[in-house]
A and B are shown apart, each in its own frame.
Chain A
Amino acid sequence: MGTNRRDFLKSASLSLTGGVILSKMQLGGFAEAFSFFEPLDITNPLAAYPDREWEKTYRDLWNYDSEFTFLCAPNDTHNCLLKAHVKNDTVVRIAPSYGYGQAEDLYGNKATARWEPRCCQKGLALARRFYGDRRVKHPVIREGFLKWLKDGMPRELDGRVPAMYMQRGKEPFLRLTWEEAFEFSAKALDNIARAYNGKEGSEKLLKQGYDHDMVEAMHEKGVQTLKFRGGMAPLGITRIFGVNRLANSLALLDAKINNVGADKAKAARCWDSYAWHTDLPPGHPMVTGTQTVDWDLSCVEHSNHIIVWGMNWITTKMPESHWLTEARIKGAKVTVIACEYSATANKGDNVLIVRPGVTPALALGFSHVIIRDKKYNADYLKKYTDMPLLVRMDTNEFLRPNEVDASYKLGEISGYIKVVKDGEKAPGGLKQNMPFITQKMRDKWGDFMIYDTVKKTAVPVNRDDYGNNMVKKGFMPALEGKFSIKLADGNTVEVRTVFDMMSEYVMENYDPKTVEELTWAPVKGIEEIAKEIAKNAGKTLFAMGMGPNQFFNNDLKDRAVFFLAALTQNIGRVGGNVGSYAGNYRGAYMSGLPTYIIEDPFNIQLEENKPATLKKYFSYESAHFFNNSDRPLRMGKTNMTGSTHMPTPTKSVLVSNGNSLLANNKGHYEAVVNAYPKVEFITCLEWWWTGTCEYSDIVFPVDSWGEFKHPDATISVTNPFLYIYPRTPLKRIFDTKADIEILAGLCDAFGDLTGDNRFKDYFKFVGENRVDVYLQRIIDNSQATKGYKFADLEEKAKKGIPALLMTRTTPKFVGYEQDKEDKQWYTKSGRLEFYRDEIEFRDSGENMVVHREPIDSTFYEPNVIVGKPHAAIKPKSPQDYGVSIDNLSGDVRQSRHVVKSWADLKKTQHPLTAANKDFKFIFHTPKYRHGAHTTPIDTDIVAVWFGPFGDMHRHDKRNPYISELYVDINPKDAKELGVEDGDYVWIDADPEDRPYRGWQKDKNSEEYKLARLLCRARYYPGTPRGITRMWHNAYGATYGSVKATEENANGLAKNKFTNYQAMFRRGSHQSCTRAWLKPTLLTDSLIRKNNFGQGIDKGFEIDVHGATGAPRESFVKIEFAEKGGLDGKGLWEAAKKKIRPTYESEDFLNYIKGGFVKKA
């Protein structure tokens, strides 16, 4: 490509007219080589330049030998097919594939090029990670764990492993062969399962202090103490969901241990993902029966008003941001609601800054304006919601037809539901064309009553009386009103419609003035945004983010936002809907997954094209109980944990594809200090040495995305594509294997250990390099992919082209069928349900949609239900559980139901403030643009952009890395604390349980040094006073990294044994969080669709109904630690330069005002 001599001469002579006079010497060989000896005479460098040979340098730098495609899919919902540029067998550069515009489906529907380009800074930096020094390069084992194995796995009398073997995080790791790694792992798991098996095993666990109900939930099966988690499993439908398959295989182990057959065998336990990450919006199933209502983000193309609410869209949905900004160009209004002037705020036409954790109150405030101004759609509410249903005021339960007429018989229902009679089989797999329930369940559900305005009496309605069908039947329900109803038993009861009660609550408690005080949202903003919502009925999209979801009142937030959306008919429409955006979760799009996950290990299908036999032996549970130091939720002596939710004790943990469970978990140091030592074996599969590896006993090294030798597939909940991870030609850089090969290897090792060859057959197709057999089985059995051929999909993926997922619509959006086709929701009434009359909700005072204060992140008394006395709010009080009303401890707070009006609540204080006035800051930990969780943030060229302290040269040796995490604080607050911009501060949350229980015993301990959060403070003008923020994404301090900061001459927080690199000197953003369990998420009664398929059931369901935690909640004190200047002296150098908020020089202030330039 370079200019050769002849071209050069030609261009030189042509450009003579441009004024270049060539030096003759320049043309000579000698002179060319030593051109700097001879001055050039260039008259005009704008016109021509003599010797441009050198330009070849950059062309050479650009040129590459070959390229290949791989899929980058951290848990960020985007999934980008990227092109790697390869030079000398090394990936040198990464680019977007520009293949999305060619994506199509089986029917010929095509995506547009507007989906291009797809990539981000983290993905483009991956080449540096493929070859990085934190790759797990071969299998390793913790020294002490190897000793335990070598010593014959000794135990104390109560079963405990002696403490000398359990020094996790403090020891070096030793290399293992692959065979050893598999064998040792299988032996350890087998040993644990046997140790805790049977009656004896249960007794040991009780002696160790585990909750009786948890031990009981094991049914004396030792395998039930083994916990497995494939993190964000939809991201790898074979390699990550394969962890569940591995768990299912352990039924064979149980059969061996207990000498039972397939009928009595049980397998291990699997943990949740979407709910564990607090990504599940738990109120969605309460209102709609479905896991989550959401929509592909390109739906904004069809909307007039987009409310981005507690969602930092432009930093967490980066490749989808253009839909928002382009909708705006095309005339849509964008409203941003956040608890600071967020990154997304700069894309807002309306920006509303509010107090964190008050979303239910704000939604009720908007609803107040809409109800007050009569802007709601009464017709819609009557047809599609439970608003006209009658509730008895004596019991607060729904009025049932048989209570009025004893002879009332339940009729058949058939509107978009199949009632499966006893003895009948439920529709399976591809044939599922509507939700189905058992006859028993239908009988239990019963029917409902409305007040008919034509007949002027209460009449029964059943599930079929929905939408236009109800109108056809001639029902004209009253939306409002109190009625006296004579019951069959002769008594008369007062009944009210749900709307009547809700509107009373909203009108009495959430007028704009009150809401302004409570939420900090100015009245003007409340009024204007509410008007905009009403004006765009059916055309307003609510994009709800992770922010509001990570507070304890998250289910109420969902219920309140749906209430607001229902008032204005903004549900289930392409341009008017509710969506929740946190995490990638919907494995259910691959509805054929059970064919893989729960293949019966006793009866394995070894032929390629034949269907697998399915049987589920493992059980799911929420990891939040493990996160709660392996305890259920109790209030006094009452177990508040529904039996369907009950966890078992955790004695081993295997985790793949995720750092969140063990190293980026809420209350991380409580787990490190108090929970992990009780777990006997921790193993993980990783390609990058994470904090999880730091606390593991055996670490299996896996291929990076660039090195996949086995294909895989995934989907996304924010875009319409079906993705294949294609196999890549890049040679493995280290001694790694595919995740799925490791699962197969473990299974094989169990085969060797037990002599049961079925273990070896279970992942047979992996060994034959035919993972595609499993993939094709899943594709063939999934309603959204049926018809695709895996081989075709992979060929296209290799060219950077995904396929379109064949859901009902593209873009996909939940509620299409319910809105457009009058199909019922997945609820008892078939309607959108706002009133929950189940006992758990009534006991919690949450049968109506109410606002509760955050459980920790509030300046007032925590978790209080806000409202004046209301006939429907009658929760159980603490005294009802035998707990003092004055007990505000964290554990008690979770089930503490106290009702106060705003007028009373505002006079209260957070209990920490009452005890120590220095506790006065809300501290929240959102996600941000420079990390997909912890995924790429320690890559140098990404890290240096992470925040204001990124410094490639690490001038200040206190920096744990070339960048470090910091707390954002309002400058005025910082000044009051005597903290300058860039100073280091200590941050402490509730001393009762953070950073871990028992820290007070020894403040000089290694543990406390590890766990207490130390970081820089940044003056951040966009956050209101009292509100502080730290990004969620960074690697926390570990024992090894803390030691390194003291021992390394350069101060780098890099574990010398493992190369683990922390972004903190001490502690992490999880030093201030803890586990929180909410009673209304632990019910056995909530009706909801199953995770996979159209079946409806009740109680716990993995990632649909279960604990979610509240990781955004913490209330802290902040104190000065060290000066920010070099060597801990004086001001941080940037503040010294007078360009920082509140440090500005006069010229800088003039600059902000635009004062240097005038029009005159």
Chain B
Amino acid sequence: MAKVKNWHLKREMEYPYEENRPNKQIAYIFDTNKCIACQTCTVACKTTWTAGKGQETMFWNNVETKPYGSYPMRWDVNLLKEMPNQIWDKKTGVYKGKTIFEDKPNGELAKGWRPEERDYAFPNIGEDECSGTVDKGAFFNGIHDVWMFYLARICNHCTYPGCVAACPRKAIYKRPEDGIVLIDQSRCRGYKECVKACPYKKTFYNMITRVSEKCIGCYPLIEKGEQPRCVQTCIGKIRMQGFLSKPGEEREDNPIDYLVRIKKVALPLYPQYGTEPNVYYIPPVHVPKEFLNQMFGPGVDEAITNYKNAKNDPKSLASFLMFGNTPKIVHSVKAEDDFAVGYNEKKEVIVKVPFTEPIFVRSFEDTQLGTFRHNTP
């Protein structure tokens, strides 16, 4: 066991391998306040990567409604209830409990559990179901008395993946060029240790090929400078993919760095497990803080405050306005006058949008074309 630095936990932790951050780390921001649970991402992924035999119930990407939705069923409750003393230090934000690498049973590399086949049935169970019964009329404002929200999920391409730690064949690795975590399809022998160890249950066993597989971060697109399919097709415009700089190397103009590390509006999913996941969520503003702290760690209050204040921060706003406007990977963002401008790695402009949509008023009569323009046709 090595000692590695986990910035989510603000402390060192045990991991089977030495810390080795990739040259670039793929990272995503998902804004739960925008997610509409349309499953377009899910179908985009499904039709691209998992349309084959043995993959019928396999969804590398899924969207579930919290609290009642879970795919596979009970994926998060099962682990939460096994992990003792999940405590964050109120003052310092340091995680005082144990991670899955620290609280593991004898002889295993990480704590986990393995779903059964039927746990993958009913992928959209709990859709739209709220946390308590509404018995008659009601009025909520601010934090809702009963609530639900949508949680879109993919592989977190963790800095310290549970799957990598657990694989007895070492068939899972992290690409140094982009941090994408892959299961080598030619070496995997389907021991399902990764399925057991991944706290997010985002590695899957294929009963036809008899090997395990998982989200590949759409690396064939990443290699061309394009964002993954689930991001490109996200009509809620909740997603942005980019690269997160190493701790201490943050750039203000990198929208991922800015929103994750500087403004801290986007938070990791169940950071207490210690994997340092790289999908960052903007927590839902209408949900009670206790649930959000359980799911996203201790930074929820700050994240929501800063999110609500984004309207007064052109840099945040410019970054938010980049979501979903371009299939290309946005490396840097600037607020220039009334526009938000996105640049690629070569510093070329790839997208430019106004902060507020323009209103065009055409002249009533077009004498040249001999017609009149009406809003009531």
Contacts and interface: CB of A to CB of B under 8 A. Distances in A.
Given A948-B122, A1024-B137, A1025-B135, A1155 B376 contact: no
A340 interface: yes
A125 B41 CA distance: 11
Given A114-B353, A343-B128, A1141-B68, A522 B137 contact: yes
Nearest to A92: B47
Interface in A801-833: 806-817, 826
Contacts of A525: 137-139
Q: Which residue, of A15, A114, A574, A812, has the highest number of chain B Cβ atoms within 10 A?
A: A114
A329 B320 CA distance: 9
A952 B293 contact: no
B14 to A, nearest CB: 14
A1159 B298 contact: yes
B357 A58 contact: no
Contact of A1151 (B67, B134, B184, B234): B67
A372 interface: no
A1021 B68 CA distance: 11
A809 B220 contact: no
Nearest to A1023: B134
A809 B361 contact: yes
Contacts of B371: 430-431, 783, 786-787
A61 interface: yes
Contacts of A948: 122, 124-127
A728 B179 CA distance: 39
A588 B118 CA distance: 52
Interface in B144-190: 144, 146-150, 160, 164, 167, 170, 172-176, 182, 184-187, 189
Interface string A606-638: 000000000000000000000000000000000
B139 A972 contact: no
Contacts of B353: 112-114
A1142 B131 CA distance: 10
Interface in A211-229: none
B237 to A, nearest CB: 4
Given A811-B357, A1148-B77, A121 B375 contact: no
Given A47-B176, A826-B376, A350 B36 contact: no
Contact of A98 (B68, B139, B175, B326): B326
A351 interface: yes
B139 A528 contact: yes
B68 A1139 contact: yes
A516 B148 CA distance: 25
A970 B133 contact: yes
Interface string A594-611: 000000000000000000
A591 B235 contact: no
Contacts, number: 449
25 contacts: A1-B220, A42-B170, A46-B20, A55-B182, A59-B223, A62-B48, A113-B325, A114-B321, A117-B233, A119-B233, A302-B356, A326-B34, A353-B139, A521-B139, A522-B138, A816-B375, A944-B124, A946-B124, A972-B135, A1024-B137, A1134-B125, A1139-B68, A1139-B74, A1151-B80, A1151-B81
Nearest to B79: A1156
A298 B137 contact: no
A891 B372 CA distance: 47
A30 interface: no
Interface in B190-227: 216, 218-221, 223
B184 A346 contact: no
Given A431-B372, A811-B357, A1153-B290, 13 more contacts: A46-B173, A49-B175, A95-B232, A113-B353, A125-B43, A302-B357, A331-B311, A826-B376, A951-B122, A953-B56, A970-B135, A1151-B294, A1154-B292
Interface string B355-371: 01111111011100111
B83 interface: yes
Contact of B89 (A96, A345, A1160): A1160
A849 B14 CA distance: 71
B170 A45 contact: yes
Contact of B122 (A18, A522, A950): A950
Contact of A1147 (B81, B124, B235, B356): B81
A1157 B93 CA distance: 13
Interface in B216-259: 216, 218-221, 223, 229, 232-237
A58 B18 contact: no
Contacts of A942: 39, 43
A1147 B76 CA distance: 11
Contact of A1022 (B81, B146, B220): B146
A643 to B, nearest CB: 28
A1160 B286 contact: no
Interface in A950-991: 950-953, 955, 970-972
A519 interface: yes
A1133 interface: yes
B47 A127 contact: yes
A321 B236 contact: yes
Contact of B20 (A18, A945, A1153): A18
A929 B36 contact: yes
Contacts of B325: 101, 113-114, 116
> Can you list the 5 inter-chain pairs with the closest CB atoms, starting with the nearest?
A520-B137, A525-B139, A1154-B290, A49-B173, A1154-B291
Contacts of A51: 184, 186
Interface string B289-323: 11111110010000000010011000001001100
B222 to A, nearest CB: 11
A451 B149 CA distance: 55
Please report whether the interface of chain B is mostly helix, strand, loop or mixed according to DSSP: loop
B49 A783 contact: no
A513 to B, nearest CB: 13
A1016 B59 CA distance: 25
A972 B175 CA distance: 52
A94 B130 contact: no
Contacts of A1004: none
Interface string B96-129: 1000000000000000000000100111111111
B223 A1 contact: yes
A121 B38 contact: yes
Given A18-B176, A96-B233, A346-B148, A806 B83 contact: no
B7 interface: no
A341 B144 CA distance: 10
B40 interface: yes
Nearest to A941: B46
A586 interface: yes
B32 to A, nearest CB: 9
A589 B40 contact: no
A930 B356 CA distance: 31
A117 B235 contact: yes
B135 A950 contact: no
Nearest to B19: A46
A348 interface: yes
Centre residue among B130, B172, B175, B295 by max chain A CB count within 10 A: B130
A118 B40 CA distance: 11
B13 interface: no
Contacts of A93: 47-48
A1158 B84 CA distance: 11
Interface string A282-297: 0000000010000000
A93 B221 CA distance: 14
Interface string A126-141: 0110000000000000
A302 B87 CA distance: 44
A784 B366 CA distance: 11
A1105 interface: no
Contacts of A120: 38, 40, 235
A298 to B, nearest CB: 5
A949 interface: yes
Interface stretch (A148-156, A311-319, A555-563, A685-693): A311-319
Contacts of A433: 364-365, 372
A848 to B, nearest CB: 26
A243 B360 CA distance: 35
